[in-house]
Amino acid sequence: MKPLTYSVYTFEEMINNNYLYVDKSEYYWDLVKNGKGIYFMSRPRRFGKSLTLSALHAIFSGKRELFKGLAIDSQPYDWKAYPIIHLNMSDGTINSVESLADAINDQLNYHADLYGVSLTNKSISLRFKELIYGLAGDDNKVVILVDEYDKPILGNISNNNVKDILAELKGFYGILKSCESKERFVFMTGVSKFSKVSVFSDLNNLEDLTMDANFATMMGYTQEELEKNFGEYLRPLAEQQKIDYGDFLAKIKLWYDGFRFEKSAEAVYNPVSLANFVINRGDFRNYWFATGTPTFLLELAKSSNFNIEQTLTEPVSELAFSAYELNNIDPLILLIQTGYLTIKSTIESAIGTKYMLDFPNLEVKAAFQTHFFAYYTDKIPTETDGFAFRLSELLTAGEAKQFIDVFNSFMAGVPYDLHIKLERYYQTIFFVIFRMIGVYIQAEARTFDGRVDAFAAYGDNAYIFEFKLDSTAEIALEQIKSKEYFKQFENSGKKITLIGANFDSETGKITDYRIE
């Protein structure tokens, strides 16, 4: 069997060192077969963007021998070598316009030295243009590959100078439009998609493949690719764990599949998670999330009072997949673009398509919820995991009073300055707790007479919650009863428990509650 890797991102190195490579070259052929192409695609981190660009680099270098036996090798392609400018915008530490210019200049100078071109201008934009014209000459065209185009922005998204960095990049990328006559092929990748009125306002000729059905499975592995390429690795692991192979595949799918990049497209597996899983001999745990906790996303969600429960229970419009602006960042759009939420199903209506979103798989769901909850409460993930497990035991036993006691003991350790004096903050904490422990929950659920804060069903028990902030539990309980929020569970055969609870915004604890 060929060795596996999750740390090699260069196509040529993978092939020359005989690593397993899942053939995606049919997509590369679709991109390069035309005489010209200027493309953009965003995908979550660790999804194969760098590997894709390095494969395209090899194609435009005329290295046909690397593709022997792959799909593109049988296509009528001329394998002509072109001068290539291959930029990786994640290189170097960038925290200012000056350090951005230094990092880009290093790469421009490398390419200038490689091809023997002299660069005389001072600004990075004009030096970029000078390099393109120098490589193209009078009768040639240039291939330009830009990896992680948005890293300088995302890496500084909470810094005051991020707009200055964006403005500098806007001018730099705008050169691609002014030099179009000198370009054979352009491909840009990144994690996020900024609006065309910001980074790409001067580059409106890009063809966006991000949600193109024809390229939805170009990165990541389909179920067929998994079984065809990884079967010889997975069957022995199933035998070692004494699990039926079909059941083993189903469990792998539950953990690592589920990323969907177009409404009708097949879902794909994260390639880094899958390679890690096999290399670690079938150990089901978090791999993708562990490569980088999205701190800026967690901070954005908390500071904007993001309604995570509504996002996971109600359909959203196509606007959720839009590009965004720095002065108006929607956490929902970023969560989708960065891969923490994905399309689970669609609802067609007279006014267009609606989308149901959820976490792609168990790996992302468990890790994100744990870190989300830990961030909200200033705890470490192991603390929140243990806390959630204890609550699940109490819910199973129907011990509502002890549930609240344990919750209060946990919240007593949350620093005062983290408490947000909004009912939504406490509703969010409850929602995430229940999702963490696998409880069916509807937050802000509609009833025939209004909305109840939460329905939760667990085993033989059903819980109806109504929360108040700086009020009384009696008022909360009376609202449940007067509006008969419990009606939907009356014929379920479950024991119904009504809980009216009041949060104290100063302490973050439930200071008053009524249970019936």
Give the mean pLDDT per block of 10 residues along the chain (516 residues): 92 97 98 94 92 98 98 96 96 92 97 96 96 90 96 86 90 92 96 65 78 96 98 97 96 96 95 95 88 73 75 84 72 87 90 90 86 75 75 81 83 61 70 71 48 66 84 89 79 86 81 88
Report whether 331 contacts 306 (CB < 8 A): yes
Dmax over CA atoms of the chain, in Å, equals 84
Residues 29 and 164 in one domain: yes
Residue 378's pLDDT is 74
Residues 206 and 234 in one domain: no
Residues 81 and 95 in one domain: yes
Q: Quick check: is 4 in a domain? A: no
Give the 3-state DSSP-derived string for 278-340, with helices as H, strands as E and coil as C: HHCCCCCCCCCHHHCCCHHHHHHHHHCCCCHHHHHHCCECHHHHCCEECCECCHHHHHHHCCC
Angle (deg, nearest 10), helices 362-377 and 295-303: 60
194 phi, psi to nearest 5 deg: -85, 155
Residue 408's pLDDT is 80
Residue 196's pLDDT is 47
Q: For residue 471, what are the domain limits?
A: 380-515
19 phi, psi to nearest 5 deg: -70, 155
Q: Which residues of 252-274 are buried (b: 16+ CB within 10 A; e: fewer)?
A: bbebbbbbbbbbebebbbbbbbb
| Pairwise CA distance, residues 272 & 7, whole Å | 8
| Pairwise CA distance, residues 222 & 242, whole Å | 25
Residues 6+ apart with CB under 8 A from 405: none
- The sign one gets for the Cα dihedral 358, 318, 295, 99 is positive
Q: Residue 312: count other Cβ atoms within 10 Å of its Cβ.
A: 18
Q: Quick check: is 365 in a domain? A: no
162 phi, psi to nearest 5 deg: -65, -35
Residue 441's pLDDT is 61
| Residue where one domain finishes, among candidates 162, 193, 215 | 215
| Pairwise CA distance, residues 219 & 227, whole Å | 16
| Pairwise CA distance, residues 260 & 291, whole Å | 20
Report whether 479 contacts 453 (CB < 8 A): no
- CATH number, domain at 97? 3.40.50
Closest CA to 304 of 504, 471, 158: 158
Side chain identity, residue 191? V
Specify the DSSP class assigned to residue 453.
E
Residue 453's pLDDT is 57
Residues 235 and 273 in one domain: yes
Work out how many domains the chain is built from and give that number: 4
Q: Residue 216: count other Cβ atoms within 10 Å of its Cβ.
A: 22
Residues 449 and 410 in one domain: yes
Q: Quick check: is 493 in a domain? A: yes
At 63 the three-state DSSP class reads coil
Residues 283 and 298 in one domain: no
Residue 457's pLDDT is 73
Residue 460's pLDDT is 81
The DSSP H or E segment spanning 183 is: strand 183-190
Q: Quick check: is 337 in a domain? A: yes
Residues 283 and 301 in one domain: no
Tokens 């707009």 label which residue?
163
| Pairwise CA distance, residues 48 & 210, whole Å | 14
Residues 253 and 132 in one domain: no
Side chain identity, residue 128? F
| Residue where one domain finishes, among candidates 327, 358, 389 | 358
Q: Quick check: is 370 in a domain? A: no
Residues 236 and 109 in one domain: no
Q: Taking the C-alpha atoms of 409, 415, 421 and 423 in order, what is their torsion angle to the nearest 10 degrees? A: -40
| Pairwise CA distance, residues 210 & 281, whole Å | 33
Q: Quick check: is 1 in a domain? A: no
Residues 31 and 134 in one domain: yes
Q: Quick check: is 103 in a domain? A: yes
Residue 449's pLDDT is 44
Residue 416's pLDDT is 53
| Residue where one domain finishes, among candidates 290, 319, 341 | 290
- Bridge-partner residues for 497, per DSSP? 463
- CATH number, domain at 472? 3.40.1350
| Pairwise CA distance, residues 229 & 248, whole Å | 16
Residues 384 and 427 in one domain: yes
Residues 407 and 483 in one domain: yes
Q: Quick check: is 109 in a domain? A: yes
